[in-house]
Structure 1
Amino acid sequence: MRFSQMQQFGFGATLLFTVLVMSAPAKCASASERFSTIAVTGMSEQSSGVAFQAVSDSGHYLYAPVINGQGQVAFTASVAGQGIGIDNDQGLWVSSRDGSLMKILHEGDQVPGTDFSLGGFSYIRLNDSGEIAFQTLIQGPAVDLTNDLSVWTNAGGSGLELVAREGDPAPGSTLIFENLYLEGLSESGNVLVSGKGASPNPVSGLESDGIWKRNVGEPLQVVALEGEPVPGDSEIPYRVGSTVLSGSGDTIFSTRSFDEFETLWRENASTYQAVVRQGDPVPETSLFIDSASKAELNDQGKIAFAARLTDQNGTTQRDSIWSDRSGVLAELPYRSGEMAPGTNGLFDDFQELVLNNSQQLAFVAQLNGGDVDPYDEGLWVENTEGDLSLVAYGGDLAPGTDFPFKGSFQSPIAMNDAGQVAFLGRVIEPTDSRRPRSATGIWATDLGGNLHLIALTTGTDEDYYLDVSDDASDPDFRLVTELNFGPQGFNNAGELVFQAIFEDGSSGVFVSTAVSGDPGDYNNDGTVNMADYTVWRNKLGATGIGLAADGNGDAVVDAADYIVWKSSFGQSAESGITGVQVPEPATWLILGWVLALPSVIRKSRSISW
């Protein structure tokens, strides 16, 4: 594809393409272009002068930094410096889009009105109002391992408030909280937690899992509890799970009764609706719903889930995706046995779903049939017209690398309301070895549907560096060894926040704007115009991740990126330019860069262009 786009520029562009394929320098991402550094090991913390030590130092996505619609980033970090010890080295910070940092809480801070203090922080949630919820371990008199875990929020305007704590009575039951997990924070400030009661369930004799919700201005209330029937239902569940809290405060969850009867529920303001039950007939067929899983709920209260359908004998007939986004719950045309767009295989099993507030669906699925590997997965997304297109597939070349995607995509998949998706994936180095080398990366689509590499770990025969300095005149390249990205890491503006861990043991939190704004807006000012052409011309020949003029996300600024700019310039309604001749790049410009390329390649592999 890239070659065919260059071909129209003649010999110079073809030679450019050939030389780029033959060379394999280390790839670099520069914080001075489409990356910004929020915090990194060694950076001074503004309010106290201590230095950041480990920034979001857990590799699990539940501990990943989060970003809201205002571009605010919340993250945890440890610090080092005068007066800092093991009991007060953890903190929780929020940054603004302009880069300013504000410390929200610090380990050892006294909780007003109590005799205990806060410990470390995890499971952070941040809504568009800037309200926050988190888990923490408290410290103080009479605090031990049975009652130190707690969930807090500042939503509602009353300051920091306790939502739930281990060792406290679990509302709506005779149980005592034993384990707690923060499940979500809504845009209205509602907080959802799941937990386990330490006392045995009177029905099952087992410890009981449950779901509780705290609405703003109200005490914590039980939503569902194992051993207790859902209000208005006669079935007694022994399992409650698959919990999702929407931005509007609705909750969905699943239950399984002792006779193995499954139900998917929706709850709003203590009103319950059975969305689908095991055994429900499928309209206009002789099939029945056997199970519903991977449910998603958007802020409009629309639901999507994967269902397994059986005949009257209980034999599985197909898997499919269902949604009520049209106003009526119905099976969508995404079914096992149907042709998967962009491949010659058939859908088989649906792995993960995302439904955004524009009613667009994205999902991961395994395929079978044709010549596809039955273990390979693909990621598909709907556009605004409802057409389904393939974003990435196991075995296909991963943009920005020389290697194919490994067969599976790591959860979770993030999708914003513009229909852009972002995900963690792996690339694998083709080899005859039984243990081929691989690397983990973050990819995201721009508004034109082009897939861009955001960051990549070292693991293949190429080294990947990130410039953690915001000063282009004083770069600080560090070798990336681990990446962390979560479902709240991608906002509607296309800004993406992630954590990187480096070979020297340092770590940091960074925001990429590589897929924010219109394709071709190379100076990121909201308009595709002649200034962006100048950026492309000045960057022609640059290689690296996140380059300002890399319009198609292949880590090379070349003639293909001119095509991206030219196409967007012609379609830009906000450019305010009419009757302007779009410049064509002169062959001498491209050829001149090609002739200079040998001296470029001889330079250090750690230089970002």
Structure 2
Amino acid sequence: MKTTLRLSAVLSLCLATASIAVQAPAAELLTAGGFEATVSGGEVPFWTLEEFISDGSMSPVGAAALVGFANDINDEEGGSGLWLQAFNGGDEARSFNGINAILSQVVAVSAGDSYTLTGASNFEQNYSGGVVSLDGLSPLGQQNGGVATPTPTQSFFEIEWLDGSGTPVGTPATLDLVNDDFQFSGGGWLSHTPLTATAPTGATQARISAKAIDMVENIDPGQSAFYDNFSFTNDSAPGTELLLNGNLNETPPTLEDVLSEIWEIVETPSDVNVLSYAGFANNGDTGGANGVWVRAFAGDGSNGVVQQSVEAMAGVEYTFNASSRFEVNFAADQGNGENQMLMELSFLDGSGTVIDTASYDLRVDGGQTSDNLWHDHSLSATAPAGTAQVRVAGVVNNIFNNPAGGAQSAFWDDFSLMTAIAGLAGDFNNDGMVDAADYTVWRDGFGTTYDQSDYDDWAANYGATSAPSAAAGAVPEPATGLCCLTAAALVVGLRRRRS
């Protein structure tokens, strides 16, 4: 009796310990299957860009952007600069109010030290900030009876001193790019006269700003302006740059940059743009913000695939789900397989060689039509022997530009790859793992549901899982398994002695 109680206590302790490890349910195997990604770093890395309308409401507006063609010609090739879009302001749509762009960065300074700010600008021939008067044909000129109208636009660089709480102290130092440094529209790139000032008492920070205030539309051509190549130094250490990204050449990561680390897009020929990520390609029925845009007009005969590979296990069934939408003029097959869109599940060995592929034609197998509605599709296949990876792919073949024109794009979204948990010898509770809990099921059913051969299966497969997605932490510690096996052996031995 005492021996039986002790063995029961050992088993209870072992099973309680093993119960901590619980099999995770089948999980999503893809990363960013909805083509969502967090893009960080701001519009201009390390700088603050404010864009707003001059109507007191501070309403946001597109007034500036970091682009490659705004790069100072004296800067390194492949750089970028700030594009000022004056043509977006001062029209009837904005009640003839101007728009503003303020690029700023705050750096640490020491009171009493002298500092120098430099920068460059380029005003196109009709930029509102580089002319004395707007043309009579400009929106403001038309509002004033078709006569030339004085420009309201101001363009300047500024050093504003701040205390430790961010409150302005002293008087800002300002360089008016037109009145002080004679930058005029059509004059090309100008590296401005250095702006030098001494930090006043109480100053611990300086806000460095490049401002374009009350920009308005003038006339074409050439209404833009550009800022680039800023530098702010302490005169006692002129070789030490205090600004981060002063030359504006560091650009924020794009959605394509982030997703390219996760998804692979392959296009043939390589110089076409068949597939791209876009907000308007998102399936609004399922949330999110992005999807994959299939550009049918990219070039007849072009092909594209968006794909991702993950680890896989032979014998496991995988299910690939996806959503798609065809616009009304996304042309059907013209007789040569035009605009064919496929889902593919490919199984690869350890060297990356494809062993087998299952495919699904959205039109033929899924019955999808060009109805401009989102449709859900599913493709399942079992990994053959030798499988090390599974690859999901959204494929478009033989792109065809519909001569009727109009809305003729297609879209992918909501890719998902799941495993179906298969049966596993010894997994008596069907949770995808052979563990101590299965021993309890076997013990309770021994002599009716289970026999010695079932126990042998459990012992042989102890610790095995049926899906590669099972959490590694769900495998019992070796000591726990050994404890249970030892206790089980003692029970069997005891029964034999009693018999």
Considering the TM-score relative to the shorter chain, is it more than 0.5?
A: no
Structure-1-length-normalised TM-score: 0.20
Give the number of the structure with larger relative contact order, counting CA–CA contacts within 8 Å between residues 6 or more apart: 2
User: Which has a greater percent of helix?
Assistant: 2
